[in-house]
Amino acid sequence: MNTRFFSIKIAVVGSGPAGFYTTQRLLKNQDIRVDIFEKLPVPFGLVRYGVAPDHQEVKNVINSFTAVANHDRVNFYGNVSLGEAIKVDDLLEAYHAVVLCYGSAQDKLLNIDGELTTKNTISARNFVGWYNGVPEDKDLEIDLNCDTACIIGQGNVALDCARILSKPTNLEKTDITSYAQQMIANSEIKKIYIIGRRGPIQVSFATKELRELMHLNDSRIKIEPSTMFEDYGLSLAQLKSLSRQRRRLVELILNLHAVSKKNLDHSPECILKFMSKPHKIVANRDTGWVERLELQRTRYDNADEFINEKSVPIDTNEFEKIDCGLVIRSIGYKATMVDKSLPFDTKLGAIMNTRGRIHGYRSLYCSGWLATGASGVIAGTLQSSQVTAQSILEDIQNKQLPSLAVDKSGYETIREIVKAKSIQVVHFNDWLQIDLLERRLGETMGKPREKFVDVDKMLDVAREKIKHDQK
């Protein structure tokens, strides 16, 4: 018999796909109420701030997230950062269970000379944040008035960066920030290298993203070196050992030479460069801006290694230089540690957990990129969130949550903490007002929205809304 007379209060930290999908699943238990805490005044994480502006259709998930936020057993508290405004212990004290879904907000590093000191050497995370309007990236120091850009990494994010730099048609009609769109439209970049230390069998990007880059109305794309298969005594027939999906992708890469090359001046040429590892980034002595990327060639020991999706090549003694004016490193994201006591897998850049249960804790869970490491698309995040929510529902069902013995104060306690710190909390209705004004501004410019990129501006809108509601 259920003798509990209070609701089960759960705090979810982070309002990206993981936060919303986890909440959505938890709501299946009618006793559960969820409070979502978000660092920024605005929700949706990388759907707003990562997904490329020319992938507007991907952003439709926002509609179902909005329905979750509007549910009567859900509250949204924006502008409340875990680690700053509130601590993990505060939440564990106030809630029956806490789910961390705050994603991966840091860059992995190459650890090579010049990486952090050379101007116009930036991370893909900051570049994406700049064109998508992340408040802390809006003033990124970036110059596109150069001939050649090098993107280090061969994943989907690297291809997003290459595609945006290739000036896709109608970019101005997307929700890209206007300042970025204008700078990209005036960019002088003629050549974009997309560089990987491994071969064509091991790329991390997907066929769809490669096709998109190929089919950009006037983008030209080729591969280097073009003779890799012959070097290992292999023929295309040997691709049979790969999965169908991977074989298609590799065939597409190898067919790239055959793609007709339209010779249009205003669009850069893209070069997929394999078997090359960044060695050093060299700055101009006078200006400090990047002028050269030095690469070390790599090789596989034998044909079996070359054709194995998982293998990692070894270094050679051959080096190469590319003169360039922009370097974007796109080698992955990792999670930030908001609390030193959380068990952290430094290799994966994620919190150690089993099916979302954080090791060494009871009532503390994680989902999304924070739980799996920063890879995969929204569908994968949905899966991870469902696994975590299921673990919580099972732990409730099996009486494995010791905190359930007593009622919890929930937001009442957190309200006192943020009030004492004079933090302006942004509610979901305030976000809807920000959303409305962004869309109105966008309408005047022929685009779906023009994002506000200043936290202060967002908070002003929220404050005005509250004043208006109180009248």
Binding site for ligand FAD (CB under 6 A): 13-19, 37-40, 45-46, 50-51, 55, 58, 81-83, 101-103, 105, 128, 157, 160, 338, 368-370, 376-378, 381
CA atoms of 44 and 62, how far apart (whole Å):
7
Shortest Cβ contact with ligand FAD: which residue? 16
Nearer to ligand FAD, 65 or 229 (CB): 65
With contact defined as beta carbons under 8 Å apart, do 283 and 117 qualify? Answer: yes
Q: How far is the CB of 376 from ligand FAD (least distance, A)?
A: 6
Q: How far is the CB of 178 from ligand FAD (least distance, A)?
A: 20
Nearer to ligand FAD, 292 or 427 (CB): 427
3-state DSSP assignment of residue 444: helix
CA atoms of 260 and 220, how far apart (whole Å):
8
Nearer to ligand FAD, 11 or 396 (CB): 11
Which token pair is 196? Answer: 């990987």
How many C-beta atoms lie closer than 10 Å to residue 380's C-beta? 14
Calculate helix-pair angle for 124-132, 178-185, nearest 10 degrees: 110
Q: How far is the CB of 384 from ligand FAD (least distance, A)?
A: 8
With contact defined as beta carbons under 8 Å apart, do 201 and 252 qualify? Answer: no
Q: How far is the CB of 213 from ligand FAD (least distance, A)?
A: 13
Extended beta strands in 127-248, E state: 148-152, 191-195, 220-224
Nearer to ligand FAD, 18 or 295 (CB): 18
DSSP string, 25-57: HHTTSTTEEEEEEESSSS--HHHHHTS-TT-GG
DSSP string, 101-121: -----EE-----BTTTTSBTE
Nearer to ligand FAD, 79 or 118 (CB): 79
3-state DSSP assignment of residue 347: coil
Nearer to ligand FAD, 82 or 342 (CB): 82
Nearer to ligand FAD, 17 or 313 (CB): 17
Q: How far is the CB of 407 from ligand FAD (least distance, A)?
A: 25
Nearer to ligand FAD, 307 or 434 (CB): 434
CA atoms of 400 and 447, how far apart (whole Å):
50
With contact defined as beta carbons under 8 Å apart, do 174 and 53 qualify? Answer: yes
Q: How far is the CB of 12 from ligand FAD (least distance, A)?
A: 10
CA atoms of 140 and 289, how far apart (whole Å):
14
Q: How far is the CB of 236 from ligand FAD (least distance, A)?
A: 30
Q: How far is the CB of 97 from ligand FAD (least distance, A)?
A: 17
